[in-house]
Amino acid sequence: MILNTEGVFSGYGKVEVVKDFNIQINEGEIVSIIGRNGVGKSTFIKTLMGLLKTNKGSITFKNQNITNVKAFDRARGGIGYVPQGHGVFPTLTVEENLLMGKLINLQKENLKLELVYNYFPKLKERRKQKAGTLSGGEQAALAIGRALVGNPDLLILDEPSEGIQPSIVNQISKIVNQINHETGLTVLFVEQNMALIQQLSQRCYAMDKGMIKGEINQEALQDYDVLKSYLTV
């Protein structure tokens, strides 16, 4: 098991948003957390990254208790993070954005930029271009590429489909699947886009009102009605 959260509670000030969160992720898996707007998906991800405090419970990553470890050290320890909205630096070029990923992980041998360019050839074509001028899909690719340059063991994606047209969502899911197959990278992503959930998840946790309401296997995920019941009001 690469990640284990036990009874995690977190939120903003006195407002508890994430309640009693228990998830287990094995090495090499692609797992999603799904749920409607505002159920607390991003709040949980920020808690995993150490951007929000864990009020109660514990987070174990690679057999180490990281509950009180600072965000930067979690990233250095091998958790790659792509925030909601992708979080690229708009005034830096594509290549400069990718180089920022190297700052995360100085100890391990960094993935070569060429490897990222192999997965995302458009980024190579545009490497001198300012990131702010890229399309939504290209920004998503850049954000994933930047995280990969840091050589993570676990890649966390917060709503990777946001601001991306459907055909590009398909491409992104193909490439993330390919990276998972070729490198064994573990992926945890948060989504409400049905196509991406179905194409990418090997397993899924359904979330509502800050809690896990159920676990859905890959086969059941292909049932549109099952999925829809967790995603619509």
Ligand X SMILES: Nc1ncnc2c1ncn2[C@@H]1O[C@H](COP(=O)(O)OP(=O)(O)OP(=O)(O)O)[C@@H](O)[C@H]1O
The binding site for ligand X (CB under 6 A) comprises: 12, 15, 17, 35, 37-43, 84
**Which residue in 13, 158, 17, 168 sits closest to 81, CA to CA?**
158
- CB of 78 vs ligand X, minimal distance in Å: 23
The nearer residue to ligand X, 38 or 121, going by C-beta atoms, is 38
**Which residue in 228, 142, 178, 50 sits closest to 216, CA to CA?**
228
Please, which residues bridge with residue 204 across strands?
32, 216
Sign of CA dihedral 39, 48, 194, 219: negative
Residues 6+ apart with CB under 8 A from 229: none
The nearer residue to ligand X, 28 or 83, going by C-beta atoms, is 83
The nearer residue to ligand X, 97 or 193, going by C-beta atoms, is 193
- CB of 154 vs ligand X, minimal distance in Å: 19
Contacts made by residues 96-100, CB under 8 angstroms, sequence distance 24+: 97/131, 97/142, 97/146, 98/123, 98/127, 98/142, 98/145, 98/146, 98/149, 99/149, 100/146
- CB of 206 vs ligand X, minimal distance in Å: 12
Decide the pairing of beta strands 79-82 and 154-158.
Answer: parallel
- CB of 124 vs ligand X, minimal distance in Å: 31
The nearer residue to ligand X, 8 or 123, going by C-beta atoms, is 8
The nearer residue to ligand X, 13 or 219, going by C-beta atoms, is 13
- CB of 142 vs ligand X, minimal distance in Å: 21
- CB of 229 vs ligand X, minimal distance in Å: 17
Task: Tell me the two tokens of residue 202.
Answer: 């090997």
DSSP string over 66-102: -TT--HHHHHHTTEEEE-TT----TTSBHHHHHHHHH
Residue with tokens 């990418």: 200
The nearer residue to ligand X, 23 or 148, going by C-beta atoms, is 23
